[in-house]
Amino acid sequence: MVKSHGMRPLLELSVKNYKSLRNVTVRLGPLNVLVGPNGSGKSNLLDLLQFLGDSVREDLRPALDKRGGLWRVQFRGKDAARGPVDPRIRIHVKANVTAHSHEDAPDEYVLSISGMRGRIRAPEGTRIGFILKRNEQFTFKRVKGRGRRITISGSKVDLRETHGEKTTTKSGPALRSDSLGLSTLPRLAASSGGDEVRKVAELFSTFRVFDVDARAARLPSSISTSSALHADASNLAAFLNHLSEDEENFERLQEDARAIVPGLVRIHFRKVGGAEEAVAVELEESGLSGRTTLAEASFGTVRALALLALLYDPQPPQLTCVEEIDHGFHPYVFDRLVERLRWASARTQFLIATHSPSLVNRLSADELIVCERDTETGASIIPAADPEDVRAMEERANGRMGLGELWFTGALGGVPR
C-alpha cells in the first residue's frame, strides 16, 4: 500500500529548460488549480509530469521521441537562442512517499538531461546519431535516522548510505548511459533502495490526466473493465456499476448528480449481451416516461457523471489532473464541485486547470496557482503571484471581490496582454 500523507505526495516541483518552463518552482497542496491565458505554461507543467510517467513506463528516449526529441522539448525562447549558459533540462522533485519521509526530510529526485550529435556504435557499424546523456540522484531515508543517496552518472551507479557520522559507498548495477534509473532501479534489492525508488517511480507512472471522450463514455462497457476508471472515461458504465455495489456511497454520488444534472431522478444499469458481459447506463428523469440511455444524453450530462465517477473513485492514483474542469458546467454547480474536489483530495492530489473566474471565486489562496508568460523571452512565470500576496489582496478586498474577480481584473496577473 502506498503511503498517502494526506494525499500531498508531491510537495514541490522545480524545472529548468523544459518547453516554456525556463526556471519554475511550484509548491503543491492537496488541491491545486492552475489559471492563466492560453500558452502560459499550464499544459507544459502537466506534460512534465506525464513525461516522467512515460519515462518510467517506456524509458527516457521513447518518452522524448514521443514529444519530437530532446531539441523539441528543450526551452526555445530568446534566452536559448542567445545560447544559455546551461541548456540542460533539470527536474527536481520533492515528494513524501517513502516510509520514513516527511515534509522536513522529503524524498528527492533530480534528473538532468543533455544531448549532442556524435558517433554511435551499432551492430551494422558506426553512424552519426544523437547521444543522450542523463544524470540522476535519489535521496531518501532508508530507516529512521539514516539517509541514503543513489547517484547515477553515465553508466555508473553509486549507493551511498549515511548513519550518524559514518558514510559508506558501494557500486550498484551498471546502466546504459541513456537509460533512466527511475525506470530500471526499482528492480534493485530492497536492501539497496529498490523499494524506495519504486515508490517514487509509482508516483509518476500512475499519474492520470482525465480527459473525457464523451462518444466512448456513452457506450456500454465490459464488466471486466470495471476495476479502474479509464483516463478517457471509456469504461464509465462499468465503473459506475462497480461503484453502485457500495450503496451508501453511490447514493451520495446520485445526490450530487441530481444537483448537477437537472431532472435526474436515478441512475440505472442494464446488462448487455455479446461476446463478453457488458453493462449500459440508463437515466430515470422527472417528467419523462421510460429511461434515457447514456447514448442519448447530452455531452454535459456524460461529462458530469464521468467527473463524479472520478471524484468517488475509492482507489485513485496518487496524482490526478483534469484540464478545463469547468467545461460543460453551469457556474451554479461550482460550489458543490469545489467541495467535492476538496473531499476527494483526501485520496488523490489534484492538479486542475480552469479559465472560469466563477470557479476561482470558490477557492482559497493556497489552492490557486497563477500562470503567465513573459512575451519577450517566451518563459512561463509560475506562480505569477505568491499565495501570501494573493491572500493579502483577498483580505483587502473584504468580500467586495472574490479571487476570481481579482484574477479576471488582472490584479493577480495571469491574464492575456
Is pLDDT above 60 for 2? no
C-alpha cell at 108: 528527492
Q: DSSP 3-state assignment of 48? A: helix
Cβ partners under 8 Å of residue 248, min gap 6: none
Contact criterion met (CB below 8 Å) for 334 and 340:
no
pLDDT in tens, 339-353: 999 999 999 999 999
pLDDT in tens, 163-208: 666 677 777 777 777 788 888 877 767 766 788 888 999 999 999 9
Helices then strands, counting H and E runs in the chain, come out as 14, 19
CB atoms within 10 A of CB 125: 7
pLDDT confidence band for 3 (50 / 70 / 90): very low
* pTM for the predicted model, two decimal places: 0.88
CA pair distance 186, 201, nearest whole angstrom: 8
**Cα–Cα nearest to 201, from 81, 304, 119, 109:** 109
pLDDT in tens, 262-276: 999 999 999 987 778
CA separation (Å) from 291 to 87, 269, 279, 391? 59, 11, 15, 48
Q: DSSP 3-state assignment of 140? A: strand
